[in-house]
Structure 1
Amino acid sequence: MLMQSQLDPLPRDLPFRIVSETIGRGAYASIKKAIPPKATNPVFAVKFIHKAYAVKHGRISAKQLAMEVSLHSHIGQHPNIIEWFATGEDQIWKWIAMEYAEGGDLFDKIEADVGVSEDIAHFYFSQMISAVSYMHSKGVGHRDIKPENILLSDTGNLKIADFGLATLFEYNGKTKLSTTMCGSPPYIAPEVITCSRSTQSRNAPKSPGYSANLADIWSCGVVLFVLLVGNTPWDEPTAASWEFEEYNGKRGHSTDDLWQRLPKSVLSLLRGMMNTETSQRFSFQQIKAHPWYTRKNALLTPDGKITDQLSLATRMLEGLHIDFSQQPVASQRLSQNQDAMDVDSNQPPRFSFTQPEAPIHDVTFDFERPPRANLASFSASQPINSKTARPLSGNAFDSLADEPSMSQFAPTPSVPFSLTQHARRFRDIVPNYSLTRFFSHLSSNLLLQLISDALHQLNVPVPPVTQMQLQNHAGWIKVKTIDGRHCSLHGDIVVDTYVTGEVELFEVRFVKIKGDPLEWRRFFKDVVILCKDGVYIPGGS
């Protein structure tokens, strides 16, 4: 049955023009691109919140909806925070116009189970700390810091987004504690869970609440950990996770392999930020005085900006690599006998979330898919021939081997010279579209069967191949599963014909709709490794 919100049209009298389908979605909101009413620039993002659905199904009060607008406008003037522009509403919808992060998800550009170099991790950590410490100086706690909410500008700078769970923890010199359950299990601070359980259990001692600012610092520590090793330290910071139990019992001196891979110089910083004793957790003053934070970094200017966009982009693209000799990473996915449509209802999180898992709707054609490679790789800084949609100076890449996403399949990943020779900014090398894609020389039926078999091996339920074929696409597979950290992971695998002067191929795009971008990257790698016989590699045997 259709939700009522599907039948409610968006407001008509808007002071801008919508120019896209949905580019992002939450449980009761969607985000679309827009432009000024009589211009084509700038392109910005507009978040549409269905007020009745949010209040009824999202357990979000009208006051909280107003708070998101108020707090975002209060802090949205920092270079590493998505800028707030304007807001408005009618009887049904509230909308928020804000900066559009053209670079997409930061963690879509980071290799799962590998991470990035110390310099890159330090660069993005420094920008994140700058943004979050600024929020806290304004008395605002984010309460949902995680990869999904860490985006990039077209120049490669970090942008923190989504203030739907933000709170004002300090005002006029007075502080208040939070009691609301917020966050994602791997990134959440342990005291948040303790507080939530104490309010839900009659027998548990009542918690006075938690400090939103200290919870944010914990989450920032987990994000730094993930930047460095490409994985989270635990599923959740509770007794249900042996990794956390050992970390807690040994006061941060974990024997887990992931901790052993960390640079020695960063360990004391992480232990300080992720101290389970909140009274001893690092403050921003202590973080910024730590030797690892103050280390020299050739990528970072004294005021927190990029010294060399092209060097950063090149190093990040070179860091993405799929090793076909590896086996898929083991993860806790659905059993084959479970209906994919029942993920949300039959697989509840082990503690409650503030936002419902079930979105407003799940309409295939309403979601804007990442552009196809033959139309997407052109630099926005190059002049475009409007008739051919190609740069006037020539093709964006001379052959498929020069397409950015192809470098991850090379034995030794390297950035094509065709990308670097005319590059002016980060986006010219690392595209804004997702790199979770591959090309195949197989027929559509064989390719869909290969993908279907791979998904079955990963215990991801899929329909018969005959039901994957759509009128305008060679294939379309809806993915609804649980990731390796027991969180929901939703998206689509879209198969389209790709014609070049060399050969006719199929392009397979993995489009994340909901979930951790690093977990989606890991899922993509698993499928590609299982489909390696069908992956086209230019010049490969």
Structure 2
Amino acid sequence: MSQLDPLPRDLPFRIISKTIGRGAYASIKKAIPPTDANPVFAVKFIHKAYAVKRGKISAKQIAMEVSLHSHIGQHPNVIEWFASGEDPVWKWIAMEYAQGGDLFDKIEADVGVSEDIAHFYFLQLISGISYMHAKGVGHRDIKPENILLSETGNLKIADFGLATLFEYQGKQKLSSTMCGSPPYIAPEVILGSGNAQTRGGMRAAGYAANMADIWSCGVVLFVLLVGNTPWDEPTSQSWEFQEYLKTDGRSSDDLWQKLPPDVLSLLRGMMNVDPKERFTFERIKHHPWYTRQNSFATSDGKMRDPIAMATQMLETLKIDFNKEPSASQRKSSQSQDAMDADGDGVSRFSFTQPDTPIHDAMFDWERPPRAYASGFSASQPTNIQYGGICTMNNGAAGLPNAEELDEAPTMSQFTTSQALPLSLTQIARRFGDILPNYSLTRFFSHVPTERLLFLLTDTLTKLNIAVPSVEQMQGGEHIAWIKVKTLDGRRCDLAGDIVIDTYSMEHAQLLEVRFVKIKGDPLEWRRFFKTLVVLCKEGVYVPDGQ
């Protein structure tokens, strides 16, 4: 269908990229004003007919996303709304481009971040969500995939496709739509949705979207601190959740034991299974852990020392080649049909969107950014062809050498040293100079292409992940391109591409292997990346002396 439908003409901006994000019926591209090179912003293109037919999203819901985003898109921790428009086929939404990428791509799986960093981002998350609630809008899909970063490292809440107006002119209404991601969803959303029934066979009355958001914020805080979710889903199917219920939030599970007492107190309040007893924002903001002093935060919630904060986050990202992947990591090797938007498929309840993306040239991915010397990202265009696709170059004089590559941010995760190279931290002036906006789920390889492909495909096969043929992997603008579709450790869909390109250095040539997430939790994608790297360690280039 979409191959016959070109993007709208006469747009009030110029597209400068291929696809940088994709959903079941939408594509996100970068754009600039018609006569200037700045600012770079994002545009979401929604194919209206495809959304209704395949996504089971009504025209009213599409209009609601535009209306609600414009209503709440003026807060520093919410992706800003700029403009929208449509033609008979497409609707588009122009919005702020989160240049810092996924927050949870920069958090170590099964480790998390320090208490101060978790506290800083929790303050910003609560600030943004409480602002939305004050406007009567519930997000209903709070999860790592929808928590992004600005270029300066500040949190940005994104994706309002499932948002709802729960309060209007002082009157509140309950929701009945089943939506959200299983590990982050509140239990009453399952019980109070349109396709759930009570014990007596009567349909549930619904759920309060604002209180469901508070539960999800609690789960996000938990993940920030320990690098994992507390359960697969808040139902009787999860023994972790049943343990949480039986112990009144005092679970003996190892993950809960890692948390300080003050945090546990706050989480029990935010994740009270009774929405009427759950903490409100007023109680959250008066809790001792919320009001604690934080060396990274100013009194008004701004970042005090972005270089120190980014340095601490990057130093936490480590891959231990001597540690075999855990059983929980290997659970991601199973396959499962995707959940549909209405929750009437084979699975227990729905993901945010169905797994039937449009396959079209207009939905081709932008070439993943390369990692260049000196630790600085080349993911932003330095040369722009107005009216067409942007061209990029690294702006470096000559090719990088091995020493420069070893000191790039992406290489620090493969070293045994806890400290970053001084050459990186001393020249850094911004958050992004330490934590680049490109994904750190990448490695370099010194082995021949054929050997590397064998290592990757053999490992994927051992993990029961379908592998394309060599002919399907090779050809085109990349040396190889492996499409991956699996389940993560919490039985949620995970999909992306493993892209292999040549990386030329001054006296040698390596292969650069980039793991590009298309769908799923960024923390789970990093866990998947770590699993493959450890199992393919023979083919991974490690800095000298490590």
* TM-score normalised by structure 1 residue count: 0.93
* TM-aligned CA distance change 1:385 to 1:56, over 3 Å: closer
Q: Report what 1:40 is aligned to.
A: 37
Q: Equivalents in 1 of 2:518, 2:184: separation in Å?
A: 20
Q: Report what 2:449 is aligned to.
A: 444
CA drift of 1:349 comes to 2.9
Q: Report what 2:331 is aligned to.
A: 332
Q: Equivalents in 2 of 1:382, 1:462: separation in Å?
A: 32
* Structure 2 residue matching 1:279: 3-state secondary structure: coil
State, as a whole percentage, how many aligned pairs show the same letter. 69
* Structure 2 residue matching 1:333: 3-state secondary structure: helix
Q: Report what 1:417 is aligned to.
A: 422
Alpha-carbon deviations, 1:146-193, whole Å to 9, x = none? Answer: 000000000000000011110111111100000011100000000001
Letter of the structure 2 residue corresponding to residue 8 of structure 1: D
CA drift of 1:394 comes to 11
Q: Report what 2:110 is aligned to.
A: 113
* TM-aligned CA distance change 1:192 to 1:308, over 3 Å: same
CA drift of 1:360 comes to 2.2
Q: Report what 2:158 is aligned to.
A: 161
Q: Report what 1:259 is aligned to.
A: 256
Establish whether residue 92 from structure 1 lines up as the match of residue 86 from structure 2. Answer: no
Q: Which moved more, 1:411-420 or 1:276-285?
A: 411-420
Q: Which moved more, 1:436-445 or 1:408-417?
A: 408-417
Letter of the structure 1 residue corresponding to residue 39 of structure 2: P
* Structure 2 residue matching 1:461: 3-state secondary structure: coil
CA drift of 1:225 comes to 0.2
Q: Give the length in aligned residue pairs.
A: 534
Q: Equivalents in 1 of 2:146, 2:123: separation in Å?
A: 16
Of 349, 363, 376, the match for 1:378: 376
Q: Report what 1:220 is aligned to.
A: 217
Q: Equivalents in 1 of 2:307, 2:381: separation in Å?
A: 20
* Structure 2 residue matching 1:278: 3-state secondary structure: coil
Q: Equivalents in 2 of 1:354, 1:207: separation in Å?
A: 21
Alpha-carbon deviations, 1:434-455, whole Å to 9, x = none? Answer: 0000011100000000011111
Establish whether residue 500 from structure 1 lines up as the match of residue 505 from structure 2. Answer: yes
Q: Report what 1:285 is aligned to.
A: 282
Q: Residues 60-209 of structure 1: matches in 2 within 5 Å?
A: 60-196=57-193, 198-199=195-196, 204-209=201-206
* TM-aligned CA distance change 1:320 to 1:100, over 3 Å: same
Q: Equivalents in 2 of 1:251, 1:509: separation in Å?
A: 43
* TM-aligned CA distance change 1:416 to 1:81, over 3 Å: same
Letter of the structure 1 residue corresponding to residue 66 of structure 2: V
Gaps of 5+ in 1: none
Alpha-carbon deviations, 1:237-295, whole Å to 9, x = none? Answer: 00000000110121101111100111222001000000001111000011011111111
Given that residues 59 and 354 in structure 1 are in contact (C-alpha distance below 8 angstroms), is that contact kept between their aligned partners in structure 2? no
* TM-aligned CA distance change 1:6 to 1:417, over 3 Å: farther
Given that residues 104 and 151 in structure 1 are in contact (C-alpha distance below 8 angstroms), is that contact kept between their aligned partners in structure 2? yes
Given that residues 217 and 273 in structure 1 are in contact (C-alpha distance below 8 angstroms), is that contact kept between their aligned partners in structure 2? yes
Letter of the structure 2 residue corresponding to residue 100 of structure 1: Y
Q: Report what 2:405 is aligned to.
A: 400
Q: Which moved more, 1:420-429 or 1:440-449?
A: 420-429
Q: Equivalents in 2 of 1:499, 1:381: separation in Å?
A: 17
* TM-aligned CA distance change 1:347 to 1:136, over 3 Å: closer
Runs of 4 or more consecutive aligned structure 1 residues displaced over 4 Å after TM superposition: 197-203, 342-348, 362-365, 379-388, 391-398
* Structure 1 residue matching 2:42: 3-state secondary structure: strand
Given that residues 343 and 481 in structure 1 are in contact (C-alpha distance below 8 angstroms), is that contact kept between their aligned partners in structure 2? no
* TM-aligned CA distance change 1:376 to 1:175, over 3 Å: farther
Q: Report what 1:532 is aligned to.
A: 537
Q: Which moved more, 1:358-367 or 1:374-383?
A: 374-383
Given that residues 371 and 377 in structure 2 are in contact (C-alpha distance below 8 angstroms), is that contact kept between their aligned partners in structure 1? no
Q: Equivalents in 2 of 1:6, 1:511: separation in Å?
A: 24
* Structure 1 residue matching 2:177: 3-state secondary structure: coil
